[in-house]
Amino acid sequence: MSKIPENNSVKSEQPISQTCCPGCLCNSEVKYEVCQTTKPHSIKSARNLSTGEVIFRELPLISGPRLDHKNDEKLCIGCCKLLSNENKIVCPNCSLPLCSLDCDGFSPRHDFECSVFKLGQFDQNFKYGALLPLRTLFLQKTNTVQWQKIFEQCDVDFVLNRNDEIEYLVQKFLTPLKKLEEETHQIILEDKSEETLGKIFNFLQSNTHHNKQLISFYPNASLLKHSCTPNTIFTTENFEITLRAISGVSEGTPLTCSYTDLFSGTHVRLKNLKKLNKTCFCARCTDPTEFGTFFSALKCMGTKQDPCGGNQLPVNPTNEETLWVCDKCKIELPHKQIVKFVKHLGGQVGKTLARKVSIEELEEFLGKLLMFLHPNHFYIFAVKNALVELYGEESLATKIQICEELIDIAGKFEDWGLRLGRLLHELFASKTSNLVENKNVEELATTIAKMRKIAQVHQDPDFLQIFLEDESKLASL
């Protein structure tokens, strides 16, 4: 059963020289430092870090269902496990559903919140997304130190429209709580204003980690700055988050991670980051060609009388008002027009990849996209990636060619990523097929070396198994 602690804890690795942070459980030399001179705070490496090295492990301070969780999907309020409608186990006090009365998330953390939850009756219209904002609000009673830190990190300029959710919390829980306080002449929660609830929603939008139907707040991991060329990666297992160095990180370097899909174009990444109150001016985001990949480029159609064939690229990729200019004929197009057209194509890509399609259908669809998009465009990448998974030995040469194309692009963005790792595996499997007579062992060894780094960084059990099998196969050639 997944374990959710009452309070968060942080563990680093190796012999201790000083305390990392309040409440730290580490027995180890400090690997990172919190920079409190910046707002919001950030963290940097306290010494040189090697590839795949664990920087820290951390358990969440608070966890709860996603804010947009569907009401018709019943959840355990302790561990957020999806429950069947036949499940009848509930908290005997507040009547909220549980996977088991022994769920680690149920007690002792539930003791205080239960007294408030029981004020709002559980029914078919209960909004699970209310749990996390309430648990954050309850920190003023259960963990005053972290409550104060959260408000120090709040960005007053970042405002979300959460009026409906706030109204639900007030009517369902906080108004009954206020009435109880008046009847008992006892203050249970000092601050329960709508303004504070608004700040909490803003904070949760910007500082939490999303994992399927669960949202968690990790105080130290939340301090990582975003970069589209990150130097760390985090993985989550049983609520514990593990932060590892992607490659060698020098002492004093700010630690960064990615909060968006690195296999989307710059304008899409920046749009997603904006929703999280983040932005990015990294080397990739400020490069119109995205490291020479043309990952966001469109084909310039020119005019009816004079077709062009050049590439439409943004002049200033981080500016929402930028012009897109052809690198051949210099024709200019407004950003909004480009974004609207790409969004339309993206909808078609999403619908096509969501259904079961044949290789022939997907190849035909790819041909249509190539009329408008650069061969390396991120939507072309997605469709080609789907084709790689469909191709069998009857299309071995085509599969190898596409794998090599995608690996070249992926390696420029994530030479440590699992997506690249899977492509490398597909390439290795194709090139070691019985249909391939002359196997280039040197090339295969290079592929395995790249996979080894990915396995080292991620420590993903499934990929590690694939890597070990491929490594063993190489040794037998």
- Domain presence at residue 384: no
Which of 257, 281, 311 terminates a domain? The answer is 257
- Domain presence at residue 252: yes
- Domain presence at residue 460: no
**456, 233 Cβ separation under 8 angstroms:** no
Residues 34 and 87 occupy one common structural domain: no
Residues 53 and 95 occupy one common structural domain: no
Nearest to 206 by CA among 153, 280, 165: 153
Residues 106 and 78 occupy one common structural domain: yes
Residues 54 and 67 occupy one common structural domain: no
Residues 16 and 87 occupy one common structural domain: no
Residues 88 and 213 occupy one common structural domain: yes
Residues 29 and 145 occupy one common structural domain: no
**Residue 212 gets which letter from DSSP?**
T
Cα–Cα distance, 109 to 61 (Å, whole number): 11
Report the number of distinct structural domains present in the chain.
Answer: 2
Task: Going residue by residue through the chain, which has 477 residues, state the pLDDT in tens, using 9 for 90 and above.
Answer: 344 344 455 554 432 233 344 434 444 578 999 887 777 788 999 999 999 999 999 999 999 988 888 777 888 988 888 898 888 899 888 888 999 988 877 766 788 888 888 887 677 778 888 899 999 999 999 899 999 888 777 665 556 678 888 999 999 899 999 999 999 999 989 999 998 998 899 889 888 998 777 899 999 999 999 999 999 999 888 789 999 999 889 999 999 999 999 999 999 999 999 988 899 999 999 999 999 999 999 999 877 777 788 999 999 999 999 999 999 999 999 999 999 999 999 999 999 999 999 999 999 999 999 999 999 999 999 999 999 999 998 999 999 999 999 999 999 999 899 999 999 999 999 999 988 888 899 999 999 999 999 999 988 899 999 999 999 999 998
Residues 79 and 159 occupy one common structural domain: yes
- Domain presence at residue 50: yes
Residues 48 and 109 occupy one common structural domain: no
Residues 152 and 202 occupy one common structural domain: yes
CA-only gyration radius of the chain, Å: 26
- Domain presence at residue 351: no
Which of 209, 232, 257 terminates a domain? The answer is 257
What was the pLDDT predicted at 17?
31
- Domain presence at residue 322: no
pTM score, whole prediction: 0.85
The range of the structural domain enclosing residue 187 comes to 62-217
Cα–Cα distance, 147 to 138 (Å, whole number): 9
Residues 14 and 149 occupy one common structural domain: no
Cis-peptide, bond into residue 334, ω within 30° of zero: no
Residues 94 and 188 occupy one common structural domain: yes
